[in-house]
Chains A and B, each alone.
Chain A
């Protein structure tokens, strides 16, 4: 009993919760929980207050953002109307800005915190390092990334047919 109490004092339950959270993220599907520790090591946590801009349309992207809690609004500026239109909302467990992991190109939308939001950031440089140091994890992430991008492209092409 005493040893269990001691272990409880030493062990950080928050880490377990973070690993459980990452297990549910699409991008990391197929990575064992034990290996997710290495992913967690590569992530950077940050809290954005309601109304704060995470990045603006046209900024160069360098990281993927995973929403841990709160909500992010993605908006795009309509060049003709000169008006920003919300194109999507990102909820906990979802991610955005994944194109930055492939190429450092301008962002296609503006991301704003719709409420106080905690995000995990995965920088391209960290992913590159993970790809070389932990190829098993790297292969899964790269393959998932390709699958997600393909799904997004398919959705884009199928959109006019739906209308």
Chain B
């Protein structure tokens, strides 16, 4: 590269710095001994220990985990066949149906939350953990489909054909050839869907009922009550967890 473009790396670093700055700030100040001030008052684990004692928080974490596991599981079970089915279609139907499956990723989350709320009200389903799980599954489905499809497209069909020539049934082909090849993509999708579910706020906000407070909902009500290093500490933990899960997922997809 010519020396004239030496400002490019600087801009790039600035941008990435901009992306990571708030996360770093959260992390650093979660150890600040002072409650309100944005000046450093000394290192302290105090806020983390407060988190450990917060019972309502534990309940929220449990709810989040439950919802994440359930919605990811259902989305995976629905999504893998859907991805496979999509890849078998002709170009036109594949484009249209594929687009429709991707709809949750496109429409604003507020709309998803609101429409689900109205649905549950109209059919008289009481709001609670179940409705949250249903909502999460709905937006996890496209995540699974996209990731599995990406891998499916890279698979060599010769392997499947060879197996068919050797007399394997379609189920055997799926079980012994396709599934193992898809495994990294499926694992990546599971991790990503899990993370997305853990982090979801808007859809959950609309459809949560009694006792269905998830971690993001709890964080939201904490934030509404004002800035506090306890929130910093909680945020830092959540961000680190998400970053870990997503890194593994991205690495898996490189295979």
Partners in one complex: no
